[in-house]
Amino acid sequence: FGSRRGSARCTPTRPGLRDPPAPQKPAGGRRAPRALGRMPEAAAPASPPGVAAEPAPRAPCEHRVVFAGLCAECGEEAGDGESAGEEDAPAPAHRRPGFVTSRNDLRVAGSVLREMERDAREALVRDRKLVLVLDIDHTLLSTSELRPGLHASPDPDSLDSAVLSLGKHGLFRVKLRPGLGSFLSSMQPLFQMFLYTQGTVAYAEAVVHLMDPEAVFFGSPPRLFARETSPQGFKELSEIFPSDTSIVVVVDDRDEVWSPDVRNFQVVKVSPFIAWESDPRRDISLEGVVARCQPQAEECQPHRPQEAADLQFDFLRDILCRVHRAAYDRHGAGGTGTAWAEPSVPSAVRDLRGSVLRGCSVCLSGVVAQNVPVGSHALAWWLRALGAEVSPRLEPGTTHVVTARRDSEKYHLARGRRAQSSDGVPFIVHPGWVLHAVATWHRPSEEDFAVPEEGDWPDFLRLWPGPPAVEQPPKRRRRSSPQTSASQRQPPAARLHGPSAPSRDPCVSLPALADSLSEADLQAWSRFLALRLPAAASSRGELFDALAPQLASLGALCSGACAWRPAAQRDAAQPHRSPRRRPALGCPSSAAKKK
């Protein structure tokens, strides 16, 4: 850039580059002292002007976030848990953040995963939400493979049945469980929902699109764990929340596919949805154990799945709402000035489920083989989980005898003791009584599951009552009529099953106004909402279930969105306003149409 001897210097060609200032000698002819710590110019030659100095060596990248084999920070190739530093350096454990994605190509280091999980958990607790993990097959729907030679068409008996074509994987006939749409809608404000199935990804994505075409409940891409994206063997909640699963509740028709710690305190077992008689599901799991105790076919009533009205979602909605309320009541139990306890699903499930049959002493007869201990039987395990005491013998304090035989010694002893008892104890019931308690978390009525003294045996797997008779639409109430009685305000499930039906929580279900709507009112709402009702929906309960999501979104009947009162009460509360003509209760008014 210039000559040391000449006076002429070259002008730098790039802005910002200038010649270093020439050293100046102080007066007296001596050189200025060198700064402390500065190397001599011969030992540390200065870089040529205009040339950038070499950067100092950096520490090796830890590859904290790896996607598709590449580090998201440095861009280098990185395997699962590999480090770019020394070969013997400890590599961080990389895992998939299941609460973010189910893809296997995204891995993060342990420290990053714990921080992400803590933030996700705090966001859910801040919104007073829990995590709900749902199984698909026989929990939300029923599937049957259509082999060559079968007629591949939808089931004419129900519009909820459809045929899925998966290419080389074949054709499948799928039928959704009754009330699935309204159940998912009621659970969305309280839970973040995931799907966990042992089916293939192609099949799972197809049925998810059938259940949630608008990606409202499970997101897009769906929060889905399938066979290819989860380890073989037991289903593991650590695939979703690796560190802390205390806010996760599981709904599955098979409890044995989960690890023991999850099965004991976090699984809500439901009855399997069996839509076709050829379904082999009734021969496995707890239902398979009970089915093997069923007497011979000529002595029992055949099982016809299509005849029974499935009420599982009515009870499951009540169970999950109670679990949510119990978990967050415990969360806020500390009060002002004390540390709040974290919401705990295992504690809520243990307390609520353990109170179902509390105070019952059960004796099993004819359901356990002679060489099998009673305590290790599946029915005995569930009876203890429900809070009952299980005894291999008929004790003086025995309250129930669960039997599948009428020729056993315990059965005849129980009949003799019951004849001498004034309160009808011990009750003699068949194993369906236990299955109903497992699926509903309510003590079933002993009369509904009583063992007949003679004649045909009932089907042990038939938990729900038969189809309800077509009810006559109630008369339109006048404004001066008194408020409806408590029995008339019961939900359809309560009228079908009696006092053991669940009480719907107002935070997740529609109010009792539904029962005051006649069939003509529901038809008027369907025309107003431009909704095509299924042809098979003949009863008021089925019509209301079909209209429930649309009415809830409209805000006409949603609990909490509007406080509905009879017209007489409204006029009494506002005496200064003159009564005016109001439209009929169930018909859409002009204001509702404008809304």
- Average pLDDT over every residue of 387-409: 93
Residue 380 has pLDDT above 90, yes or no: yes
Rounded Cα distance between 476 and 345, Å, is 45
Do 140 and 264 belong together in one domain? yes
Residue 408 lies in a domain: yes
pLDDT category at 227 given cuts 50, 70, 90 is confident
pLDDT digit string, tens, across residues 311-327: 999 999 999 999 999 99
593 compared with 330, residue with greater pLDDT? 330
The pLDDT value recorded for residue 25 is 53
Rounded Cα distance between 275 and 540, Å, is 23
Strand, helix or coil at 267?
strand
Looking at mean pLDDT, say which of 220-234, 289-303, 386-400, 531-545 comes out highest: 386-400
The pLDDT value recorded for residue 89 is 41
Do 373 and 253 belong together in one domain? no
Number of domains in the chain: 3
Rounded Cα distance between 545 and 183, Å, is 10
Strand, helix or coil at 121?
helix
Residue 443 lies in a domain: yes
The pLDDT value recorded for residue 583 is 43
Do 243 and 99 belong together in one domain? no
Burial class of residue 38 (count of CB atoms within 10 Å of its CB; 0-12, 13-18, 19+): exposed
Region of 567 please: left (phi>0), alpha (psi -120 to 50) or beta: alpha
Rounded Cα distance between 113 and 375, Å, is 41
CATH number for the domain including 392? 3.40.50.10190
Do 142 and 248 belong together in one domain? yes
Task: Identify the H or E element spanning 133.
Answer: strand 130-134
Residue 367 lies in a domain: yes
Q: How many CB atoms lie within 10 A of CB 2?
A: 13
Residue 55 has pLDDT above 90, yes or no: no
User: Among 353-362, 389-398, 512-521, which is the least confidently predicted range?
Assistant: 512-521
**Contact at 8 Å (CB) between 440 and 268?**
no
Which of 463, 490, 506 lies at the terminal end of a domain, its last residue?
463
Residue 404 lies in a domain: yes
pLDDT digit string, tens, across residues 155-209: 444 445 788 888 777 788 899 999 999 999 999 999 999 999 998 899 999 999 9
Residue 185 lies in a domain: yes
User: What share of the chain in percent tops pLDDT 70?
Assistant: 59
Do 263 and 375 belong together in one domain? no
User: What share of the chain in percent tops pLDDT 90?
Assistant: 38
Residue 499 has pLDDT above 70, yes or no: no
Residue 265 lies in a domain: yes
The per-residue pLDDT of the chain, averaged, comes to 74
pLDDT category at 552 given cuts 50, 70, 90 is low
Strand, helix or coil at 375?
helix
Burial class of residue 304 (count of CB atoms within 10 Å of its CB; 0-12, 13-18, 19+): exposed
Do 161 and 290 belong together in one domain? yes
Residue 347 has pLDDT above 90, yes or no: yes
pLDDT category at 329 given cuts 50, 70, 90 is confident
Bridge partners, 172 (sequence order): 145, 164
Question: Which pTM was predicted?
Answer: 0.67
Do 382 and 284 belong together in one domain? no
Cis geometry, peptide bond prior to residue 221 (ω within 30 degrees of 0): yes
Structure tokens at 136: 């698909």
Residue 91 has pLDDT above 50, yes or no: no
Residue 433 has, within 13 A of its CA and on its CB side, a CA count of 28
pLDDT category at 69 given cuts 50, 70, 90 is confident
Do 120 and 204 belong together in one domain? no
Rounded Cα distance between 453 and 414, Å, is 12
CATH number for the domain including 168? 3.40.50.1000
- In total, the chain counts a number of residues equal to 595
User: Among 216-225, 251-260, 506-515, which is the least confidently predicted range?
Assistant: 506-515
**Contact at 8 Å (CB) between 290 and 460?**
yes
Residue 298 has pLDDT above 60, yes or no: no
Bridge partners, 162 (sequence order): 174
Which of 463, 493, 519 lies at the terminal end of a domain, its last residue?
463
Strand, helix or coil at 591?
helix
The pLDDT value recorded for residue 315 is 96
50 compared with 446, residue with greater pLDDT? 446
**Contact at 8 Å (CB) between 236 and 266?**
no
**Contact at 8 Å (CB) between 97 and 240?**
no
Backbone angles phi, psi at 79, to 5 degrees: -80, -170
The pLDDT value recorded for residue 183 is 96
Do 109 and 242 belong together in one domain? no
Rounded Cα distance between 155 and 479, Å, is 44
User: Among 90-94, 440-444, 476-480, which is the least confidently predicted range?
Assistant: 476-480
User: Among 92-96, 100-104, 459-463, which is the least confidently predicted range?
Assistant: 92-96
The pLDDT value recorded for residue 524 is 61
Q: Which of 500, 495, 498 is nearest to 544 (CA)?
A: 495
Do 256 and 385 belong together in one domain? no
Rounded Cα distance between 193 and 248, Å, is 10
Rounded Cα distance between 282 and 432, Å, is 13
Task: Identify the H or E element spanning 568.
Answer: helix 567-573
Looking at mean pLDDT, say which of 78-87, 390-399, 573-582, 586-595 comes out highest: 390-399
Cis geometry, peptide bond prior to residue 55 (ω within 30 degrees of 0): no
Do 120 and 227 belong together in one domain? no
pLDDT category at 246 given cuts 50, 70, 90 is very high
Q: Which of 334, 365, 329, 321 is nearest to 347 (CA)?
A: 329
266 compared with 308, residue with greater pLDDT? 266
Rounded Cα distance between 178 and 181, Å, is 8
User: Among 92-101, 118-127, 152-161, which is the least confidently predicted range?
Assistant: 152-161
442 compared with 27, residue with greater pLDDT? 442
The pLDDT value recorded for residue 460 is 92
The pLDDT value recorded for residue 33 is 53
Following DSSP, what letter does each residue of 397-463 receive, concatenated? T--EEEES-SSSHHHHHHHHHHHH-SS-PSEEE-THHHHHHHHHSSPPPTTTTBPPSSSPBPPTT--
Do 215 and 253 belong together in one domain? yes
Q: Which of 481, 424, 466, 467 is nearest to 447 (CA)?
A: 424
Which of 463, 481, 513 lies at the terminal end of a domain, its last residue?
463
**Contact at 8 Å (CB) between 314 and 493?**
yes
- Average pLDDT over every residue of 94-103: 86
Q: Which of 410, 407, 451, 406 is nearest to 431 (CA)?
A: 451
- Average pLDDT over every residue of 57-64: 77
Residue 216 has pLDDT above 60, yes or no: yes
The pLDDT value recorded for residue 127 is 93
Q: Which of 170, 236, 225, 171 is nearest to 193 (CA)?
A: 225
- Average pLDDT over every residue of 563-592: 45
pLDDT digit string, tens, across residues 144-155: 887 654 444 444
Residue 138 lies in a domain: yes
Write out the residue range of the structural domain in which residue 69 sits.
Answer: 63-76+92-127
DSSP 8-state code for residue 150: S
Strand, helix or coil at 238?
helix
**Contact at 8 Å (CB) between 131 and 250?**
no
Residue 83 lies in a domain: no
Residue 206 has, within 13 A of its CA and on its CB side, a CA count of 19
